[in-house]
Amino acid sequence: MGVEVDWIAGVDEVGRGPLAGPVVTAAVILDPRRPIVGLADSKALSPARRVVLAAEIRRRALAWALGRAEVEEIDRLNILQATLLAMQRAVAALAAAPREVLVDGNRCPELPYPARAVVGGDRFVPQICAASILAKVVRDAEMVRMDDRYPGYGFAGHKGYPTPAHLAALERLGVSRIHRRSFAPVRRLVAPRESPGRRS
């Protein structure tokens, strides 16, 4: 008798905190017949280990998909709503319909399937760990590419998070096209150019 498939999808996001770049989400339905050893919260793994595991997840999962929300959507909707939208996109892109969706955190997007929020799920729910790893690898790779396109900000190192080096680069270079203008450190730099007294 074979191992029964439970068709549970795990969903997680990467990129809520950065000042630049998209928020990226992933949805993963694991195959219990093809276990993946070493799944954990992506933040607890080395970059090299994440890349290896991401390749295994793509190869062994029953279904996986990515979703994202762009900087313009983050600024228009706010980061929470943009993240929920990106999660909806990831689940909608799955090649198989899940029986249930487990979402890392305390909020679930509206989905056409039963869904539960699991606080800290990226530490102990294998499907969410897998989603965390996929999303992290994809977003990190994109921010490395952005480092070539927008040199000087250090995106390859900090991936858009508000490190002292990033904040110093923002002050020095100004705001790039991939910075989130609704986030306070960026908004403070944009505001003087868009403020009072100027009429067209």
Check residue 190 and give its pLDDT: 85
pLDDT of residue 5: 81
Helix (H/G/I), strand (E/B), else coil: 29:
strand
Per-residue confidence (pLDDT) for residue 2, from 0 to 100: 62
| Domains in the chain with CATH codes | 8-142 (3.30.420.10)
Order the strands of the 115-118 sheet from edge to edge.
Answer: 63-69, 23-29, 8-14, 100-104, 115-118
Residue 128 carries which side chain, given as an amino acid letter?
A: I
- Kindly state the DSSP code that residue 20 receives in the 8-state scheme: B
**Model pLDDT, residue 195:** 44
Q: What is the pLDDT of residue 191?
A: 75
Tell me if 119 sits within 8 A of 106, measured CB to CB. Answer: yes
Q: How many CA atoms lie within 13 A of 32 on its CB side?
A: 8
Residues 169-177: contacts with CB under 8 Å, at least 24 apart: 170/19, 176/20, 176/150, 177/71, 177/150
At 169, the amino acid letter reads: A
* Backbone CA torsion sign across 73, 79, 80, 84: positive
Provide the pLDDT for residue 48: 97
Q: What is the pTM of this model?
A: 0.92
Walking along the chain (200 residues) 10 residues at a time, the average pLDDT comes out as: 82 98 98 95 95 98 98 98 98 97 97 98 97 98 98 98 97 97 94 48
SS3 99: coil
Count Cβ neighbours within 10 Å for each residue of 67-94 and write b for 16 or more, e otherwise.
bbbebebbbeeebeebbbbbbbbbbeeb
Residues 6+ apart with CB under 8 A from 152: 169, 172, 173
Pairing type for strands 63-69 and 23-29 reads antiparallel
Which residues share a beta bridge with 101? 9, 115
Query: What is the model's pLDDT at position 199?
Result: 35
